[in-house]
Chain A
Amino acid sequence: MNAVQTIKLTKEFDGLVAVNGVDLEIKKGELFALLGPNGAGKTTTIRMLCCLLKPTRGTASILGYDVVRTPFAVKKLIGVSPQDTILSERLNCWENLALIGGVYGLSSDEVKERSQALLKTMGLVERSKDQVRKFSGGMKRRLSIAMALVSDPQVLFLDEPTLGLDPQARRAIWEYIAQLKGKKTILLTTHYMEEADSLSDRIAIIDEGKVVALGTSQELKTSVFGMRNMVVSTGNLTAEVIADLHNKYSRVAISKEKLKISHKDLDFKEIVDYLHSRGVTVHSAALEQPTLEDVFIQITGKQLRE
């Protein structure tokens, strides 16, 4: 049985299709990322899986329980950290955790024990008795994730867990998520490529409500599209050469004497020879592995970041 399974999952709002026939199969213990730009339908998908929105068409189930027919069975199995950090602002860490733990039916001893462990993992012990409205964004996010974990859920939904955080706080949260890998089934949404790249077992790239690519990070970058990047450091590029390169290759970007060429089955020697033949000085040239962003642009023709 899959931890999360959707079949042709669709959500329309007043005729606008937010999620369009999404098929997902997430195995138990897998860390799965939904990667896509803002408005791609990631949060809507999560909201349907958490029983907050009824699908217009299609089905979704968590560990075999249908989200529409058996929402309360589903809710007992899941933990959710919403995109906006939503806490009870005038409660402290313990009280926020106790609220969620209590609603899941844990005894106060269980709540206390788990809270203690979670606060330690999330580095919140020192401020645990302060009202959370005084916390920084990073601390709030860590507590929000702890709240999603306090019921020891089998399936964890993390909707943009690092959105709006500074790089340091983001890295800290990645570390916590990495610790959970293999222990929980995690569905994470993000529009940060590095996040999906470094954390997930598999990635689904989602755009305009549709899954446009699915696989491991490595599969997406290489085998599926065979995209390769080459970076050339040059001295005397002419407009003519640039135009020529644009015609021949999928993507050509120039910045500060650096030429970046992306193309399927790109031939290193062919490019160097061509540049030499046109009298362009080549200081250095190297092949680079494409990033998920390259993959995304290749598939959708759009930038991932706003």
Chain B
Amino acid sequence: MRFWQIGIRNLKEIYRNPVLLGFLLGMPVAFMLVFIAAAGGGQASPIALRIVDEDQSQNSTAFIQILGSVDAIEVKEPIYSEGSQAQADLRDGKISLYLLIPSGFEAAAQAQQTINLELVYKEADPMIGLQVKPIVEAVGSEFLGVAPPLNVELKGTESRIKNPAVNFYFPGIAVYGLMILISTAAEIIAGDREKGFLSRMFTTPARPWDFILGYSLPFIPVLIVSTLTYLGVGMALGLTIVGNLGYAFLIFFLIGLCAIGIGMIVGSLVKSASQAGVSWLFIVPMAMISGAWFTVDRMPSVLKSIAGVLPFIHGIDASRAVLSGSALSAIVLDLYWLAGWAVVLFAAGIALFRRTMVS
């Protein structure tokens, strides 16, 4: 049980250190507050959406009605019947965004064919389009997947997510928060090596595995407490959990294990606690390209492929999907990917940390 003594010591060194805790818990919570407030928070004013209905069918009218029932957007009258009018108004600055329902919408819907909806926004304000796009997509896919009449049922499904901004931002910021464990683990390990604490402990009868367990297990309660804190704050801010919370927790747990593994790698490679700061050079860009803070739908494909190989984007996408109601089958590949990374990173972390013990 020597590892237990070492582990308890490390846990105390973490939870008694306000700076480490501030980064681990305070920063992600602050990010949630700021991002969600910036997105309008609970009192978000709906985005004005103009609609061009070129189809002029029963189906298109029903679709417009459903769009109108979504809290986050406000469908403005009058409905254009031709795209050119809307385009002119957009150019003149009278409107900033419109959705074009092409002719053939009803026919395509009935034939179950692909329908291309166009969301046209002012060049100067691309964010507005990005904000509305997922809403239109969600409503559209629900609408097209169900035969008419559909109003009652659809309203129910859509209204379950009370605040789309929170459900969008929460998973990204939670994953970013767990990525901070990289720096925590790296700093503890590198610091103890730099100050000679590990050397001192190596003169005791503790064995290599006591150190490996003693320097990895304590991060697991930290990871659990962090996840619960983020979830608590997220729910207080209006996070709607439609899907299975257990799967979401599992995803966050695997992300946390990946982060601890990377932290052990960095902590074993750098020479001092201050050098462990290099982990931020990894954390911030990875969080960015993994879509922790904003949507990465339009990111160049090179960055997309890099992000796709790494675990974090899978954690964000899968937790976002599962919190919003996706079934396990939709995220199972992400889970495998995350579990694989967790095993690889932990093993590499242990191998490198073990190497530091042999002189």
Show the binding face of A for B, using Cβ within 8 Å. Answer: 50-54, 72, 75-76, 78, 80, 82, 84, 86, 88-91, 95, 98-100, 102-105, 131, 151
| Contact B205 A76, beta carbon cutoff 8 Å | yes
Smallest distance from the beta carbon of B2 to chain A beta carbons, Å? 5
**Contacts A52-B202, A54-B359, A78-B203; is A84 near B196 (CB within 8 Å)?**
yes
| Contact B197 A88, beta carbon cutoff 8 Å | yes
How many residues of B are in contact with the other chain, CB < 8 A?
25
| Contact A103 B6, beta carbon cutoff 8 Å | yes
| Contact B204 A90, beta carbon cutoff 8 Å | no
| Interface secondary structure of A, over-half rule | loop
CA–CA, A104 and B200, complex, Å: 13
| Contact A72 B359, beta carbon cutoff 8 Å | no
A-side contacts of B6, CB under 8 Å? 99, 103
A-side contacts of B202, CB under 8 Å? 51-52
**Contacts A103-B206, A104-B204; is A88 near B196 (CB within 8 Å)?**
no
| Contact A75 B204, beta carbon cutoff 8 Å | yes
Give the segment of B10-18, B25-33, B283-291, B311-319 that binds chain A.
B10-18
**Contacts A90-B17, A131-B16; is A50 near B9 (CB within 8 Å)?**
no
How many pairs of residues, A versus B, come closer than 8 Å at their CB atoms? 66
**Digit string of B134-165 for contact with A (CB within 8 Å is 1, else 0)?**
00000000000000000000000000000000
Any A CB within 8 A of the CB of B91:
no
B-side contacts of A50, CB under 8 Å? 203
| Contact B205 A103, beta carbon cutoff 8 Å | yes
A-side contacts of B199, CB under 8 Å? 52, 82, 86
CA–CA, A78 and B200, complex, Å: 12
Residues from 8 to 63 in B contacting A, C-beta threshold 8 Å:
8-9, 12-13, 16-17
The 5 closest A-B pairs by CB, nearest first: A102-B5, A90-B16, A80-B203, A50-B203, A75-B205
| Contact A82 B13, beta carbon cutoff 8 Å | no
CA–CA, A131 and B16, complex, Å: 10
Smallest distance from the beta carbon of A100 to chain B beta carbons, Å? 7
| Contact B9 A99, beta carbon cutoff 8 Å | yes
| Contact B204 A100, beta carbon cutoff 8 Å | yes
